[in-house]
Amino acid sequence: MRDRRSRILDRPHPRRAARGAAGDWRPPRRGAAVFLRRARTGGCRAAAQTLRPGGRRHRLRRRRGRARGRHRTARRRRVSGRDVVIVGGGHNGLVAATYLAQAGKSVTVLERLDDFGGAAVSTQTFEDVDARLSRYSYLVSLLPARIIRELGLDIRLLRRRYSSYTPEPGTSRGLLVDNGDAEATALSFAAVGAAADATAWHEFYGRTAHLARRLFPSVCEPLMTRAEARRAVDDDRAWHDFIERPIGEVIERTFANDLVRGVVLTDALIGTFAPAHDATLAANRCFLYHVIGGETGDWDVPAGGMGAVTGALENAARDAGATLVSGAEVTALTPDGEVSYRHLGAERTIAATTILANVAPHVLARLLGDRPTERPEGAQVKVNLLLERLPRLRDSGVDPAAAFGGTFHINEGYSQLEGAYRSATAGELPSPLPAEIYCHSLTDPSILSPELSASGAHTLTVFGLHTPDRLITPENNDAMRASLTRAVLDSLDSVLAEPVEPLLMTDAAGRPCLETKTTLDLDDALHLPGGNIFHGPLSWPFADDSDAPATPAERWGVATTHERILLCGAGARRGGGVSGIGGHNAAMAVLESR
């Protein structure tokens, strides 16, 4: 056990709050003995002045070092050690940094890109068009109110009145689920021939709400075991239907209408390439995380766009004293806490007591030089559009503002989804392509300039399903991007009263305001292996009964095979989605270890 004096040396420097993290000074750990000897003879102030940047001895050392440096080339620069270095400045990394810095830890976040936020960012996507789109991630459900409250974040999440609208292919009818009008919703079920499913719908989602209330509060606590989670759920039938058997079984048993079944199944397929009767239960895990967020399963619109969420986190991390370094590409890690990175054209290293990896486990293995893990696979295409106005629907009884005000499901009937999976498994793009749309600007027009908003312009975000990364290669990516764009537009046109392309706005160069991101594009831009938006396969929010967590990292679900390196991103247990849960739990593991 460390003695009292070494514990004192680990405390944050008393001037941190006034000077900020970039100006912190603390005695180097390897010089602790020298520091203590000088403290005995000349007092801590004298010892500190000797070693502190700007002190006489420090100036002499710098001069000698510069003289020696003239005869060397390409020298790696070493940065003073920190308690924690976080690799990756996405939202989870910022959450972890804020918690740890507020607790007095010295923290440095290294972000490869110029801006922080990772996939949770807003950008002016189209040249000289004043609209800031949530370029990658776009809705929030899994971010616990506890994290927002504890970190004092200025974040507003806006509830959507309409849950979803699903046109019935080949007809002028559609299913509108109105959260504010149960009677209108029941009539809409009847209009598509699914009157009997209206009651079943409310009962089904009553059951998932029960799961949410029992399981979601645990995501910011040490992992429960499977048996503990089952006792917490306290409903053997729900446990059997949603946890132990393929999700397709309970959907088929509960609902008769193909359209209704498809709407329910989509929550099991977001970024997940699986059939309804998936024996691995990957679809079940995806479904579970999509229905438990906030103890309600609601998916909300972040006011100001997704960039407002990470902007608040970035401000909180800086205010807490964390050092945030952008344009810093980490090139290697060692199990003993050394981080190598490239910044401003120089090769640098920094030592850390603990490294938090806000990168996919597959990327972490590469940085460590470990045996490569199995490459994960994403299965989606993302298309961002800016329209002059909302398109007209074939269903004249539904206002487009209502239809696009929730999640707009396109060609996502149950049989269509299963057929799309079979097509993609055979190496073909699904036709029609199943996809869903949301319109941020209907709920939150602040992402548009006042002029754009007044003109009637709107953003559309399209998320296409069952387009696995295996279909895309570096050689065919451009062609596949064009094919996927065409497939998305054709699928959308199939349920509209008018084609969508003529409604596209144009940028300063006259190009249509449309952007498509394939799985390979996500890999290239964000280092998401295989374009997997969850960093890898999702895990259950509980541990196996046979697990015996021996460390804080294991208790919190953030452990790796290296004691000093923890996961803090979506690849941690319970880490998927824009949630901050991975960052919170990694920070708790670090604080529990001290």
Contacts 24+ apart (CB under 8 A), 53-60: 53/25
Any idea what DSSP says for residue 225?
Answer: B
pLDDT of 464-481, one tens digit each? Answer: 999 999 999 999 999 999
Q: How many CA atoms lie within 13 A of 86 on its CB side?
A: 36
pLDDT of 366-407, one tens digit each? Answer: 999 999 889 999 999 999 999 999 999 999 999 999 999 999
Q: Can you tell me the distance from the alpha carbon of 428 to that of 451, in angstroms, rounded to the nearest whole number?
A: 43
Tokens read off for 407? 């999640």
Calculate the CA dihedral of residues 421, 422, 428, 431 and round it to 10 degrees. -70
Q: Do residues 558 and 355 make contact, with C-beta atoms less than 8 angstroms apart?
A: no
| Burial class of residue 465, CB neighbours in 10 A (0-12, 13-18, 19+) | buried
Q: Radius of gyration (Cα) for the chain, nearest Å?
A: 26
Of 60, 9, 52, nearest to 33 (Cα)? 9
| Check whether domain 161-194+380-466+473-517 has CATH 3.30.70, yes or no | no
pLDDT at 482 over 80: yes
Q: Can you tell me the distance from the alpha carbon of 363 to that of 341, in angstroms, rounded to the nearest whole number?
A: 14
Give residue limits of the domains in the chain: 1-69, 76-139+301-373+544-594, 161-194+380-466+473-517, 195-298
Q: Is 355 in a helix, a strand, or coil?
A: strand
Q: Can you tell me the distance from the alpha carbon of 594 to that of 587, in angstroms, rounded to the nearest whole number?
A: 11
Q: Which pTM value belongs to this model?
A: 0.86
Q: Do residues 317 and 153 make contact, with C-beta atoms less than 8 angstroms apart?
A: no
One-letter amino acid of 419: G
Q: Can you tell me the distance from the alpha carbon of 577 to that of 289, in angstroms, rounded to the nearest whole number?
A: 9
Q: Can you tell me the distance from the alpha carbon of 306 to that of 56, in angstroms, rounded to the nearest whole number?
A: 49
Tell me what the mean pLDDT of segment 164-177 comes to.
97
How are strands ordered across the β-sheet holding 458-465?
Answer: 174-178, 162-167, 407-410, 435-438, 458-465, 380-387, 514-517
The pair phi, psi for residue 471, each rounded to 5°, is -80, -10
Tokens read off for 401? 């503002």
Positive or negative, the Cα torsion across 111, 117, 123, 125? positive
Mean pLDDT, the chain, as a whole number? 90
- In this prediction, residue 80 has a pLDDT band, given cuts at 50, 70 and 90, of confident
pLDDT at 322 over 80: yes
pLDDT of 16-63, one tens digit each? Answer: 333 333 333 333 333 333 323 333 333 333 333 333 334 433 333 433
pLDDT of 87-116, one tens digit each? Answer: 999 999 999 999 999 999 999 999 999 999
Q: Can you tell me the distance from the alpha carbon of 439 to that of 75, in angstroms, rounded to the nearest whole number?
A: 51
Q: What is the CATH number of domain 76-139+301-373+544-594?
A: 3.50.50.60
Of 233, 213, 178, nearest to 294 (Cα)? 213
pLDDT at 333 over 80: yes
